[in-house]
Amino acid sequence: MIHRISSAFWCLLCLLSVAGAEPLRVSTFSTVLTEIATEVGGTAVKVHGHVGPGVDPHGFEPRLGDLRVLERADVVLLSAKGLEAGYARKLREAAGRAALLVEVGAGFPSLRLPDEQRPGATVEDPHWWHSIANMRRATKIVRDAMSSLRPAERAGFDANAERYLGELESLENWARKKISVLPRSARKLVTSHDAFQYFARDYGFTIYAIEGVSASEEPSSAKVAGIIAMIRAQGVKAVFPEQMENPRVLREIVRESGAKLGGVLYADGLGEGGTYSGMFRHNVTELVEALK
């Protein structure tokens, strides 16, 4: 019995030495970062996505199991721009001393949003992934972080990143062409929570968000009335519900304003089995079809 266990153990060791170093253990805190890490890291990494598909990242709280995984992580990827503000410190404390914490979103400029807690003040807008230009920057940041920890695997990370960057570029070309059929005057985006500023900046949309950054608060009736008046005055054709949202207020706006209810948009991350490109194509297609 002892002999059998030990020979199994040696066999495992010899397999590991044949395969080279153990995979880099990567912990991510958004579905988008999980995709980037998986695409860039390939077979040289083992990615643990702590925030799964369909989970609201604004309401996420790490559990004990998450913190245990972090203790053994080599790299921790955060969206930053305030998305993990409620628990970033907890993650830092849980991560092993050797782990590299990368605040991916801190590597490029932020748009600002009104602060729901402090009237008149602003906070960073965390929804940077709705800009493909930001996705390209994030991909390079993840590539460089992986290469710094595993210089011997650099060529592989570079090649994977190049392929993924190419896919993002094709997606950008597709989106620009698709949106080009919408006249500027039709580029008005009425959504539940304020998640599409980066998208709006890239493609020339004006945003009218019914709720704030996290969709956790009910909008005031004055705000809803203001949006209804704007839709009527400007002839906005459709308003858009989001995945993970209660569309009650939006239905009221549809009833009162005469706009139609557009397709459901993905605001806060990928759905089950979804890809970034799938999410982006879905959002652009729904917008263009309803507003044209």
What sections of 42-149 are H helices per DSSP?
Answer: 64-71, 88-94, 132-149
211 near Zn ion, rule: CB under 5 A: no
Assess contact for 77 and 28: CB atoms under 8 A: yes
One-letter amino acid of 96: G
Identify which range of 9-17, 158-166, 195-203, 277-285 contacts Zn ion by CB under 5 A.
195-203
Identify which range of 15-23, 80-88, 255-263, 268-276 contacts Zn ion by CB under 5 A.
268-276
Identify which range of 14-22, 100-108, 110-118, 192-200 contacts Zn ion by CB under 5 A.
192-200
Nearer to Zn ion among residue 99 and residue 209 (C-beta): 209
Among 47, 250, 268, 280, binds Zn ion (CB under 5 A): 268
Assess contact for 245 and 215: CB atoms under 8 A: yes
CB of 57 to Zn ion, least distance (A): 7
Q: Which of residues 161-190 bind Zn ion (CB under 5 A)?
A: none
CB of 51 to Zn ion, least distance (A): 12
195 near Zn ion, rule: CB under 5 A: yes
| C-alpha triplet 90, 95, 101: angle, nearest 5° | 95
d(CA 122, CA 184): 27
244: left (phi over 0), alpha (psi -120 to 50) or beta: left
Nearer to Zn ion among residue 42 and residue 82 (C-beta): 82
Pair of tokens at residue 176 = 């620009």
Identify which range of 80-88, 143-151, 223-231, 264-272 contacts Zn ion by CB under 5 A.
264-272
CB of 65 to Zn ion, least distance (A): 24
d(CA 169, CA 135): 10
Q: What residues have CB less than 8 Å from 103, skipping those under 6 apart?
A: 78, 80
249 near Zn ion, rule: CB under 5 A: no
Counting residues that bind Zn ion (by CB under 5 A) gives: 2
CB of 272 to Zn ion, least distance (A): 18
Assess contact for 124 and 133: CB atoms under 8 A: no
Angle between helices 154-179 and 31-41 (to 10 degrees): 130
Nearer to Zn ion among residue 158 and residue 286 (C-beta): 286
Residue ranges that bind Zn ion, judged by CB under 5 A: 195, 268
